[in-house]
Structure 1
Amino acid sequence: MTSNQSFFCGVQCVVYQQPGKASVLLGRRFQTSGHGLWALPGGHVEFNESPIITARRELLEETGLFGVTARLGPTFFTYTTETPYAHVPVVFEDVRGKAHAMRDEHFSEVRFFPLDKLPRRLFEPSRRTLATLGSPLHTALLGQSHASFLKIDMAVVDAEPSGESCTILLFRDVKRTTLVATRVRRQRSGHDVKQAHFSDFDAAVRRLDGLVRRRLEDHYLVTDVSGDLTVDGVHEILPNAGKMRMISDVLIRRLVEDDQFRHAFADQLDRADPPPQPVSVPARQLVLFDV
């Protein structure tokens, strides 16, 4: 079982083509994981490096560009390896030089792609970075803000394939904290959205904790956690996060595709208190909170 207390960290370097920021720089990965896929420049954060320092180093090594000014985007986690991986997007507002694939690095070529015509064969962490940065929610609530936020995606597992999913977001800015909860019912069009503002951060955290716990009691699984909070910040908000268990997305796909297995799993959830320990398989992991 993978521990959420140990993870690797890397950066995703985002360079938009000026003016207009309508295109983004990608490289074709070569002789490394994801060979042949297009990806943002990036790499591992080394000991005593900050993400921005790492991003400047990796951008120069892989593309020949020197990053001048930069800002951090929302961190997210992937679980494709035995140890989870934290990805920190670094958006460069100003770069110097001309982009080209550097010799003895992991790109065979680099070029700008329009954001509305990205290549289909896109490295998954890069796809998630660009999707998050380009989402209307991120643009509206975080585009001009230095807010920290936590995003929790959840989905219910029941015997029928109808089901529900929800997203809970906590935005912490200087003056107030905003809590947004959305719920999608697959058999209905549209989704429900509730939003509340708090001047007291602790009150917002109590509401967040209550929302998550109620969903867990209704047999929701936590399918993704992301945000730009530090690990310490997440544990400050959700002190029980250290008790997280890991399950495989192979299990999630099987629940969607195999009616008989879904019925058996839903029946097991109904009988179990607390919910059963999922089967561990060596694949991408998702998070299940203990109740």
Structure 2
Amino acid sequence: MFACTGTLSAWGHSLRVVRAFAKVRRVGGKPLNGLPLHMHSLSKSHMSYKARLILLLYLSSILQLNGQRSSGDEALRFCVGSGTTAEDMKLVFRWLVPAAKAVICCEAVNNIGLCMGFLGGVGYMENEEGEFNIARLYRDMSAGPIVEGTSNVLAAYAVNLIEGNTGSATLTAIDTAVFAHLKSHRSLTLERKLILESWSRLKLVLSDSSIEHIQTAESFVRHILDLICAALLITDAGRDDDGEACEFAKRWVLQVCGATEHYYKKVEVPGKLLLDQKLCYGNSFQR
């Protein structure tokens, strides 16, 4: 979790630098944050960042709950799934920690590299201003994916936890803690349906002992984490129906389920740019 926190923090800082740079850098007489392609690419990185951040916050909350209630089957009120027990949360936490480490660190480093590109040539220079030095962040954070286990090793371990003696119990715990409550939500109906269908299909594949999963462990782990992040984003958006949170959830779900382009065809170009700007700068953004 410490490695995930470090690389994710560096990713978030890089995005802050890029947002500030996009306000003042002008290309063709327009600021960078007024160019549709630039803002769409930047909003995708923000979307991924928020998805991984909400996963890390969920992990932190599970750790706190496990510390408060180390034994017993009493339902935990503060879990995403209301019927989740302490034993369920232990299984979920045991699986999520290596899975998150396998995915988040690599993804964070890759996106820090993207942020260097968003700044152009300046992004690759190790300037004196430490707070703007994304190149140094990229160099320092590149060790994150190999600290405390490489992605392949941790992904293989996570898959073994699902396939082993406690495999069915772990899948059931994840289902109860993360996905079961989505059936009772009222908002984002299409997105909830897509996620629940994808999760059901994935459970069938994982429960089939005749299929060898270890060779594609990283892909399986990433897909499961993507679905968990989608469920958490939907839950977050459903609490107050905030427009920005709902847009994050919609885009993430449709990206995970491969329906992104169909969604974007429904939005006019000026509307797309404004949505991207608000996802990057917040609902208070003004042209």
Give the TM interval when normalised to the shorter protein.
under 0.3
Whichever structure has more strand as a proportion of its residues is 1
Q: Which has the higher contact order (CA 8 A, sep 6+)?
A: 2
TM-score by length of 1: 0.25
TM-score by length of 2: 0.25
Whichever structure has more helix as a proportion of its residues is 2
